[in-house]
Structure 1
Amino acid sequence: MANYTAADIKALREKTGAGMLDVKKALDAADGDSDKALEIIRVKGLKGVAKREDRAASDGLVAIEVAPSSDGSGETGVLVEINCETDFVAKNATFTTLADRVLAAAVASEAADVESLLAAPTDGGTVADLVAETAATLGEKLVVRRVVRVSGEKVASYLHRTAKDLPPQVGVLVATDAAGAEVGRDVAMHIAAYSPTFLTRDDVPAETVENERRIAEETARNEGKPDAALPKIVEGRMNGFFKENVLLDQAFARDPKTTVGKVVEGAGGTVTGFARFRVGA
């Protein structure tokens, strides 16, 4: 019988994310040698890549790095989302290390989309190679789902954990001018909670505004509102739409009596851009 302990099983499970039975079988086949057992698990994982392709990868984490912009104009924040199949793997050290390496490659390569990021170099191969190798080790489908870069004079960031034992599930970047940096992190925390879609009203596509206005008018008519009152009612409902979806119009999370726009204005600053990722959303 192979010579290994419960501690050996635990260590290999933590390293690979593999199930108890798979780890024990690998240790048995490797006669208790942890390195050989790890290789067996990885080979088994590689063989299972095709089978995993149709499985859902809706768990995972987000990661952020903010650094000086390469052109010296200010700062650039990079936000990536990497998915796996289970929360067990999401908090596994092998998976979180993968995320760190993918984020580093995104920063170094200045990749602005997933295709470019997967082709970016890392440790003698590409990010795509690294993801495939790690997927083989962990035995789950892994996906680099999205990446975004936000640049500005100053960039604030915020990462939020939806559970204490899991890595961050929500990530936010906010670009401001120098004065706006004073409230940048507060705004980032607000975005994490309220998930706005647009920065300003001007950023809302005209067709979206027209559609919302049409819905508001039709709804008012169906409610039997008099024609004379329709313009005011529609305008009120459009303001409600903007307050729900436009960052600067939203009621500020820390003080709902004011808006995000007024908070930024009070600091003498300007928000120039933002991005928000939530794992699986």
Structure 2
Amino acid sequence: MANYTAADVKKLRELTGAGMMDCKKALDEAEGNVDKAVEILRVKGQKGVAKRESRTAENGAVVARIADDKASGVLVELKCETDFVAKGEKFQAAADAVAAHVAATSPADTAALLASEIEAGKTVQAYVDEANANLGEKIVLDRFAQFSGGFVASYLHRTSPDLPPQVGVLVELDKENAEIAKDVAQHIAAFSPKFLSREEIPAETVENERRIAEETAREEGKPEQALPKIVEGRVNGFFKENCLLDQPFAKDNKKSVQKILDEAGVTLKRFARFRVGA
């Protein structure tokens, strides 16, 4: 039997994030040499990456990074398979590192992000694969948002106190107003609008909602002469549910989000909302 101690197992776990039994097996194979055991775990972990591709990553974290001058910011979602890994320092450090890299390099899209170098000679894709190997779970980076040019703010929400943030929002106003930015970001986190305004909704989506509203009203036996008004009311209801500017504001539901922004004298240029796994 290889000569190693419990302290060696602990050190190897801290270095790699691997499970206790995997660390013991690696130390056995490495005859107690911790450095060699690290290499063994990395090789075995990389072999397991392909096997994990078919598994589902529905846990993880959303992280944000806002520039000191509030003129730019990023939102990144990094996913894993279990909340156990999501809670870990190594996983959260990886998510923070990717967010910092996005802020520094402004990649055009996810493909460009994954192909860019996060460390000398190491692409983001390789960095994610390495985390995949070290943590023993499927790790996925498939979306991020980056805003610049206005006043940018973020809001992160924990769905459980022992988990990293699972919901993140990034907003950009045309001028500085920290209070409104925070309030609107919290509203977005809670009410998850799909669009900023009615103008953003594809025409075919609106027409489909109108068709469904009419067919539903007919099925309910509504009088023919009342159909136009009923249909219009239900389509407006769709707008209020899905368009941020039409939604009743969380802190004052007698006013729309648009009204709150107008009263503050600011324009919301855009927003992004991520919920882990959704």
| Fold equivalence (TM over 0.5) | yes
Task: For 2:268, give the aligned amino acid.
Answer: V
2:194 match: secondary structure:
coil
Map Cα deviations across residues 14-40 of structure 1 (whole Å, 9 max, x no partner). 553322321222233344444433332
Aligned to 2:165: 168
Query: Counterparts in 2 of 1:192-203, with a 5 A limit?
Result: 192-203=189-200
Aligned to 1:240: 237
Establish whether residue 138 from structure 1 lines up as the match of residue 139 from structure 2.
no
1:48 match: secondary structure:
helix
Aligned to 2:208: 211
Query: Counterparts in 2 of 1:144-159, with a 5 A limit?
Result: 144-159=141-156
State the number of aligned residues.
276
Task: For 2:142, give the aligned amino acid.
Answer: R
Which of 213-222 and 22-31 deviates more?
22-31
Is contact 1:175-1:274 (8 Å) kept?
yes
CA distance in 1: counterparts of 2:165 and 2:143, whole angstroms: 15
Identical amino acids, percent of aligned pairs? 61
Aligned to 2:36: 36
CA distance in 2: counterparts of 1:255 and 1:181, whole angstroms: 18
Q: CA RMSD in A?
A: 2.0
2:270 match: secondary structure:
strand
Task: For 2:236, give the aligned amino acid.
Answer: N
Is contact 1:29-1:37 (8 Å) kept?
yes
Establish whether residue 258 from structure 1 lines up as the match of residue 255 from structure 2.
yes
In structure 2, the gaps of 5 or more residues are none
Structure 1 residue 231 displacement after superposition: 1.3
Which of 214-223 and 82-91 deviates more?
82-91
Task: For 2:99, give the aligned amino acid.
Answer: L
- TM-score, normalization by structure 2: 0.91
CA distance in 1: counterparts of 2:124 and 2:88, whole angstroms: 19
Is contact 1:15-1:93 (8 Å) kept?
no
Query: Counterparts in 2 of 1:11-160, with a 5 A limit?
Result: 11-67=11-67, 75-124=71-120, 125-160=122-157
Map Cα deviations across residues 136-192 of structure 1 (whole Å, 9 max, x no partner). 211222111112222342011011111111111111111112255430011001101
Compared CA separation, residues 122 and 179, structure 1 to 2 (3 A): closer
Is contact 1:179-1:268 (8 Å) kept?
no
Task: For 1:161, give the aligned amino acid.
Answer: R
Task: For 2:255, give the aligned amino acid.
Answer: T
- TM-score, normalization by structure 1: 0.90
Structure 1 residue 85 displacement after superposition: 1.5
